Amino acid sequence: MSSHHVVLDLSSSVPQYEQIRSQITALVAASALRPGDRLPTVRALATDLGVAAGTVARAYRELESEGLVATRRRTGTTIASGAEAADQGVRRAAHAFVARARSAGLGDDEVIDLVRGALLATASIVPSPGSPPGC
């Protein structure tokens, strides 16, 4: 993975470590990163992004706690073997949804708002893994 895949929005209220974490998660979900792929070292990614090494280290720790990456002394940080974030059917449905939304003239922010609305609407029906009861 090169750092050009991760882009920080310095004006965003989302913490930089969370932007890094969510973008790497999205790259795995989109199969742009696959199990065994090596991530840049903490120091290298921090330098490329112009952030403190601790920021990248926190993102990597969060990814490791989620089971998405594994860090080993000799191999560095790699995408974990079980890291297929969504099954193929869900991935295809997501791609179809985005294609349909774009053909209807919706922009990225509107698509994201629709997904957030769907998540909120279904939160009481099927809680997401790891969410507290009632969420």
Same domain, 11 and 74: yes
Task: Report the residue count for the chain.
Answer: 135
When divided into structural domains, the chain yields a total of 2
Over residues 54-73, the pLDDT tens digits come to 999 999 999 998 888 999 98
Q: Kindly state whether residue 111 falls inside one of the protein's structural domains.
A: yes
Rg (CA), the chain: 16
- CA distances for 61 relative to 20, 70, 120, angstroms: 11, 9, 27
Over residues 19-36, the pLDDT tens digits come to 999 999 889 888 889 999
Q: Is the pLDDT of residue 129 over 60?
A: no
Same domain, 66 and 105: no
Range of the domain at 35: 3-79
d(CA 2, CA 10): 19
- Backbone angle region of 120, left / alpha / beta, with phi > 0 → left and psi within -120 to 50 → alpha: alpha
Picking from 29, 33, 48, the residue whose alpha carbon sits closest to that of residue 95 is 29
